[in-house]
Amino acid sequence: MCDYSLMHVKSRPAKVGEKLRTSNFGTGTRGFASPEDPSTAVCVLPGTELAFDNEICVYGASGPSPHKMAIFRQINQAQPHMHHDAMELPDGHTLLLTFLCEGQEATVLQLPAQPATEAEARAQERVAIAG
């Protein structure tokens, strides 16, 4: 999905096989964009699998993560004015997308399956914004 601070940025859904780049949209958060259209946020569904071209770089970390794969998740959903977009790493750690270094490239490997139950459908919904 696209984090709450990207709600007023032009956006579109991610597609399987496309290349994404971490970008700063000037809204207080980073998100994904297509290298060909850096002004449009590319929204990713929870459960989407991503392969990064290089080890994942996180601002403030002493070095890159040893991981190049991640699954997109949404966290802090009960807190409307917090960042929600996150990456789950193979070791189980989760980090906020906004903390990823700008300019990293990743390929969308797989989108989540269509929800089969109401609970699965709710898990794929965009976080509601209060206010």
Q: Terminal CA-to-CA distance of the chain, rounded, Å?
A: 19
Average pLDDT over residues 19-38: 92
Is 89 strand, coil or helix? coil
3, 30 in Cβ contact below 8 A? no
CA dihedral angle for residue 13, residue 53, residue 68, residue 49, rounded to 10 degrees: 20
| pLDDT (mean) for 96-107 | 94
CA 115 to chain centre: 19
Whether 129 has a pLDDT exceeding 70, the answer reads no
CB 34 within 8 A of CB 44: no
Domain residue ranges of the chain, discontinuous segments joined by +: 4-123
